[in-house]
Structure 1
């Protein structure tokens, strides 16, 4: 007869592995990098194409962080944001290992890690992040972004949702 382990012991075994969560992060990185390579091959810097009345593809480079924050800082920001992305990925790996059975929490973290590392790869290879998704309404444009940024935002929203769900469950 097969012996089953208590739930607490099982969470440290096969279900406590990083593999599925690292897989999610790798999928994000691959999708992000493949789209950036495609855009870089098809577009010239600054070139855009209208896709819908509210969405364009446009190739732009971002030497800073979100919304080009610190983009004109003189170069040190490249290494600071690269280091920040690597440190974030290491902390996320620790959290993924520790909470590997919490599916929504880990999915959110894996999306954030994949997005952060996708942008780290750009900073290391090119010295800037490649952005190309441009949404607009009338004359107002959201700053261009990429799939890595999208994964980070979706992951952050899932973290908020997971925490709200956890707080409601504790009542």
Structure 2
């Protein structure tokens, strides 16, 4: 009786979520390592000038993007944590259903990693740690952000690009 030989491929099966979860994990790891490093090296509000347009600074964000709702009574911590957890669960569902769509899943994996990175901060510290501070002469400072925020923004841009490509087909 003949048996089929098992072959192993470096290319993931079209239904595999593993590569996308790996990307999300790398984002979470980079995000948390950079936040821990900055928290150990800086005191709150401390700034280090790196270039004429970029500083490192230790800032805390108790709200959402651009410190939206940051000055509320504390309920926003739980609200934004719940949104992050809900988004992560929905993204996992989408990754399972569409794991073969590369650009779409890249976008989802980046957003997932960023969302979980910021949820970890909210749960552990009660706020999100930000440290990347870009500014331009006379125009002031862009709100400080972190690796998780960067991943979310890149993921959102890839999501839009994927949708534009889909519409143009």
Q: Do the two structures share a fold, i.e. TM-score over 0.5?
A: yes
> Once the 2 structures are TM-superposed, how far is the Cα of residue 60 of structure 1 from its aligned partner?
0.3
> Once the 2 structures are TM-superposed, how far is the Cα of residue 15 of structure 1 from its aligned partner?
2.0
Corresponding residue SS for 1:14: coil
**Alignment RMSD (CA, Å):** 1.3
Which residue of structure 2 lines up, in the alignment, with residue 142 of structure 1? 142
Write out aligned runs for 1:3-152 (5 A).
14-139=13-138, 140-152=140-152
Corresponding residue SS for 1:17: coil
> Once the 2 structures are TM-superposed, how far is the Cα of residue 17 of structure 1 from its aligned partner?
1.7
Greater share of residues in helix: 1
Once the two structures are superposed, what CA deviation does each residue of 1:126-155 show, in whole Å capped at 9, x if it has no partner?
000000000000131100000000000000
Once the two structures are superposed, what CA deviation does each residue of 1:18-44 show, in whole Å capped at 9, x if it has no partner?
111111100000000000000000000
Corresponding residue SS for 2:144: coil
- For 2:67 and 2:131, the matched residues in 1 are separated by 13
TM-score (norm 2): 0.91
- For 1:89 and 1:60, the matched residues in 2 are separated by 25
TM-score (norm 1): 0.90
- For 1:151 and 1:113, the matched residues in 2 are separated by 9
Once the two structures are superposed, what CA deviation does each residue of 1:67-124 show, in whole Å capped at 9, x if it has no partner?
0000011100000000000000000000000000000000000000100000000000
Off by >6 Å, runs of 4+ in structure 1: none
Corresponding residue SS for 1:49: strand
